[in-house]
């Protein structure tokens, strides 16, 4: 038994062998009733037969995935219309007709916020008797996962799913004065979910003279709800603005069937028909007498005609269909108009706001006829050479990502939003970058740096035992809301905690990060040899343990340790290093018009190296010395490498010794000792002039 988790077996009760048990609806999970056993209607039931059939629970249930552009599929009739058009049956005619009222509606309806509620239709039904809905209605609601409540509530739920027409009923005895649709004024009310909400000025409130009765298009309130004692009701059938409804639902975190439908768009022509359908069901199931219908405002008008050349069907799909077949498909979907000649004037039905052009009509025809019947046709080759699809910036970013991946970095994808507190730590968080409707309180601001989520991702990995890793991400960052405020950012972080090893280990340092940055910049086409190293960096880097790579005034990258104060505010443990590269700042390679790049002139002669050590000021950047040595003779000097930094005994206080290896590459002939000596003197002179240092003795 599914409701009590018991397996039936033979048992003796009062010395009588029992082969089963009598069950309540709850024990069978067929309902909530547990007061008595289920009684089957009729007597034509076979012992051992299907219990689901006997209980009326064998009605097939089909789940549909409804795309956002087709809100008409949120009603069974909308789905049935498409199935009938595809030849899977005949669409039954609408059985609900107009209802003629017997008296004037005693409740006045007003609209004070037409931008939120353009139209509000309603009528009163008096002298009714509310109670449980009939079995067939309860079974249909249970089949789709809804709990039957009472006849009045069940009718509104039924029509919401059957006709995609949300409705609401109010107990007239609980209303005070006119009922009106207006914007909120900071009131609080208790909704049908039992929670209390504040109705702000950005929300549509349905209210009377005394209180707020509900949130328009989202959820009604408990105060005006119907009970078994209700005898007079006001049936509401309104049209609410999708944007305001969506914003209200997001602000209150309410997810209701009504909100789900109104935010996608309800058929604006369904107000009167929806009101009549609800009235007829109330009169049939609850009795009573209906008043005349009243309408405040008017729903948005929907009149759209598409000029449709019939030849578009063959041009876009390759299907060679007869015009009569095309017209039959469109008409079966509810389209109408003049469908004669070569160019038709097709009128779009009010429930198909997604159909905006002739391509949409072709799609409908192909969908109903069958996408599987589209002929397989090869695309025609475009004339001339195929142009690359990727932009130079995209290619540059791809090469940088590939280089870092080869260096052991893992590619991460994180949110473009972050917490405003985190954004402030990394130079962002301005008011113009704060989101009006964030998906989370921790994602309420556009990120100023991709480092934010990478740092947190590295911490999450460390918390799970992966403390030694390198992460990178390339994506947009935002400095302001102007068109130029968005930049492409290639960022990476490193948490170094190598495993124990018999050969020993070393943790990564700033020079490892600098090497990774230079590797990526070189792959992206930056002139790495011409870049200047500077200690001027953003405030979120550790002063003295960070640097930037510049090309003139342009900053191409920043790297180093992230400021420990910022890590502490973010709750990050330990040392985290990182970098930021700005691909857009890298200059494009210059190509001379009309000239192709020649072959590289590689020398056959062996290179030679010479070592130099200079005593310089302790605060002199080593890069300045290296650049000076390289500039002594650009034709012969192939590379300059710093291999030692020393300060201590034998070196004057306030000074340091920088040792470099200069690689010399002869071009045409082996260099003589005199030529090498001349070059060495030029290197020494160049370095001493540029740095103020002296050759160490």
Choices 3.50.40.10, 3.40.920.10, 2.60.120.10, 3.40.50.2300: CATH for 109-297: 3.50.40.10
**Which helix (H) or strand (E) covers residue 123, if one does?**
strand 119-126
Distance CA 122, CA 108 (A): 9
Q: Are 277 and 231 in contact (CB under 8 A)?
A: no
Q: In what order do the strands lie in the sheet with 608-617?
A: 637-646, 655-664, 608-617, 694-695
Token code pair at residue 158? 């039924």
Distance CA 157, CA 165 (A): 9
Token code pair at residue 336? 């109408």
Q: Are 263 and 242 in contact (CB under 8 A)?
A: yes
Angle at 260 (CA atoms; ends 257, 265), nearest 5 degrees: 125
Q: Are 561 and 577 in contact (CB under 8 A)?
A: yes
Q: What's 56's DSSP letter? A: T
Tell me the CB-side half-sphere exposure of residue 37, using CA atoms within 13 A.
6
Tell me the CB-side half-sphere exposure of residue 603, using CA atoms within 13 A.
16
Which segments of the chain have a pLDDT < 70?
3, 30-34, 42, 44, 498-505, 590-600
Distance CA 566, CA 459 (A): 14
Distance CA 394, CA 399 (A): 9
What dihedral angle (degrees, nearest 10) is formed by the CA atoms of 82, 88, 90, 94?
-40
The pLDDT assigned to 599 comes to: 59
Nearest to 396 by CA among 585, 597, 596, 579: 585
Distance CA 29, CA 144 (A): 14
So where are the chain's domains? 1-58, 109-297, 305-372, 392-585, 608-695
Nearest to 236 by CA among 256, 211, 254, 216: 216
**Which helix (H) or strand (E) covers residue 617, if one does?**
strand 608-617
Residue 379, phi then psi, degrees to nearest 5 = -70, 140
Q: What's 42's DSSP letter? A: S
**Beta-ladder partners of 548:** 534, 558
Tell me the CB-side half-sphere exposure of residue 89, using CA atoms within 13 A.
9
Task: Extract long-range pairs of 627-631: CB within 8 Å, 24+ residues apart.
Answer: 627/532, 627/690, 628/686, 628/687, 628/689, 628/690, 628/691, 629/660, 629/662, 629/683, 629/686, 629/687, 630/529, 631/686
β-strands 196-199, 219-220 pairing: unpaired
The pLDDT assigned to 499 comes to: 66
Q: What's 70's DSSP letter? A: -
Scored b (16 or more CB within 10 A) or e, 470-489 reads: bbbbbbebbbeeeeeeeebb
Distance CA 216, CA 180 (A): 10
Distance CA 669, CA 395 (A): 40
Q: Are 458 and 493 in contact (CB under 8 A)?
A: yes
Distance CA 693, CA 688 (A): 5
3-state secondary structure 576-600: CEEEEECHHHCCCCCCCCCCCCCCC
Q: Are 219 and 206 in contact (CB under 8 A)?
A: no
> 608-695 adopts what CATH topology?
Alpha-Beta Plaits (3.30.70)
Outline where 333-391 has alpha helix (H). Answer: 358-369
Angle at 83 (CA atoms; ends 81, 84), nearest 5 degrees: 65
Residue 426, phi then psi, degrees to nearest 5 = -110, 30
Residue 589, phi then psi, degrees to nearest 5 = -65, 135
Nearest to 132 by CA among 155, 149, 156: 149
The pLDDT assigned to 592 comes to: 53
Distance CA 285, CA 152 (A): 9
Token code pair at residue 394? 């995209």
Angle at 107 (CA atoms; ends 104, 113), nearest 5 degrees: 125
Q: Are 556 and 586 in contact (CB under 8 A)?
A: yes
Strands (E), 240-291: 289-290
Angle at 454 (CA atoms; ends 452, 460), nearest 5 degrees: 110
Per CATH, domain 392-585 is 3.30.930.10:
yes
Class of domain 305-372: alpha beta
């Amino acid at each position: 038994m599914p409701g009590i988790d018991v397996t039936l077996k033979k048992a003796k009760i009062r010395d009588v062998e029992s082969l089963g048990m009598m069950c309540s609806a709850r024990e069978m999970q067929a309902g909530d009733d547990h007061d008595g056993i289920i009684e089957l209607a009729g007597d034509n039931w076979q012992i051992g037969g299907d219990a689901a059939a006997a209980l009326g629970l064998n009605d097939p249930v089909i789940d549909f995935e409804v795309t956002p552009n087709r809100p008409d599929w949120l009603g069974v009739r909308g789905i049935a219309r498409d199935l009938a058009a595809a030849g899977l049956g005949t669409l039954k005619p609408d059985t609900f007709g107009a209802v003629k009222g017997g008296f004037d509606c005693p409740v006045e309806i007003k609209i004070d916020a037409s931008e939120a509620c353009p139209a509000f239709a309603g009528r009163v039904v008096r002298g009714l008797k509310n109670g449980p809905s009939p079995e067939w209605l309860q079974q249909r609601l249970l089949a789709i996962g809804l709990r039957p409540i009472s006849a009045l509530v069940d009718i509104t739920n039924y029509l919401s799913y059957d006709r995609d027409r949300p409705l609401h009923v109010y107990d007239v005895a609980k209303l005070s004065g006119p009922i009106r649709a207006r914007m909120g004024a900071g009131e609080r009310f208790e909704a049908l979910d039992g929670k209390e909400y504040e109705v702000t000025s950005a929300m549509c409130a349905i209210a009377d003279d005394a209180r707020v009765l509900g949130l328009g298009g989202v959820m009604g309130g408990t105060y005006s709800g119907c009970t078994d004692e209700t005898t007079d009701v006001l049936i509401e059938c309104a049209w609410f603005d999708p944007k305001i409804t969506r914003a209200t639902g997001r602000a209150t975190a309410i997810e209701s069937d009504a909100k789900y439908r109104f935010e996608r768009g309800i058929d604006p022509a369904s107000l009167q028909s929806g009101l009549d359908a609800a009235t007829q069901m109330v009169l049939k199931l609850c009795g009573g007498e209906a008043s005349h219908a009243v309408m405040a405002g008017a729903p948005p008008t929907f009149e759209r005609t598409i000029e449709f050349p019939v030849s578009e069907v063959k041009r876009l799909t390759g299907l060679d269909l007869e015009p009569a077949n095309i017209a039959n498909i469109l008409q079966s979907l509810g389209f109408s108009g003049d469908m004669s000649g070569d160019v038709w004037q097709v009128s779009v039905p009010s429930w198909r706001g997604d159909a905006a052009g002739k391509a949409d009509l072709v799609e409908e025809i192909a969908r109903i006829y069958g996408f599987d019947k589209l002929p397989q046709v090869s695309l025609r080759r475009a004339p001339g050479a195929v142009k690359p699809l990727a932009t130079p910036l995209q290619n540059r970013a791809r090469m940088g990502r590939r280089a870092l991946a080869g260096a052991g970095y893992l590619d991460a994808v994180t949110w473009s939003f972050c917490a405003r507190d985190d954004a402030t730590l990394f130079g962002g968080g301005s008011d113009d970058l704060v989101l009006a409707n964030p998906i989370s309180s921790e994602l309420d601001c556009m990120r100023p740096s991709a480092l934010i989520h990478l740092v947190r991702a590295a911490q999450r990995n460390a918390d799970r035992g992966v403390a030694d890793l390198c992460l990178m991400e390339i994506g947009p960052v935002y400095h302001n809301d102007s068109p130029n405020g968005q930049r492409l950012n290639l960022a990476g972080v490193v948490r170094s905690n190598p495993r124990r090893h018999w050969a020993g280990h070393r943790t990564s340092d700033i020079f490892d990060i600098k090497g990774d940055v230079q590797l990526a910049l070189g792959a992206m086409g930056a002139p790495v040899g011409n870049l200047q190293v500077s200690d001027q960096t953003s405030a979120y880097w550790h002063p003295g343990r960070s640097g930037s790579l510049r090309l003139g005034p342009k900053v191409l990258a920043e790297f180093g340790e992230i400021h420990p104060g910022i890590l502490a505010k973010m709750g990050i443990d330990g040392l985290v290093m990182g970098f930021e590269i700005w691909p857009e700042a890298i200059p494009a390679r210059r190509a001379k018009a009309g000239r192709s790049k020649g072959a590289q002139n590689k020398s056959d002669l062996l290179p030679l190296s010479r070592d130099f050590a200079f005593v310089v000021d302790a605060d002199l950047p080593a890069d300045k010395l290296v650049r000076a040595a390289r500039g002594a003779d650009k034709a012969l000097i192939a590379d300059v490498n710093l291999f030692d930094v020393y300060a201590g005994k034998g070196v004057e206080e306030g000074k340091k010794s920088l040792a470099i290896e200069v690689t010399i590459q002869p071009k045409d002939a082996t260099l003589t000792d005199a030529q090498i000596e001349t070059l060495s003197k030029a290197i020494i002179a160049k370095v001493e002039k540029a740095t103020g240092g002296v050759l160490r003795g």
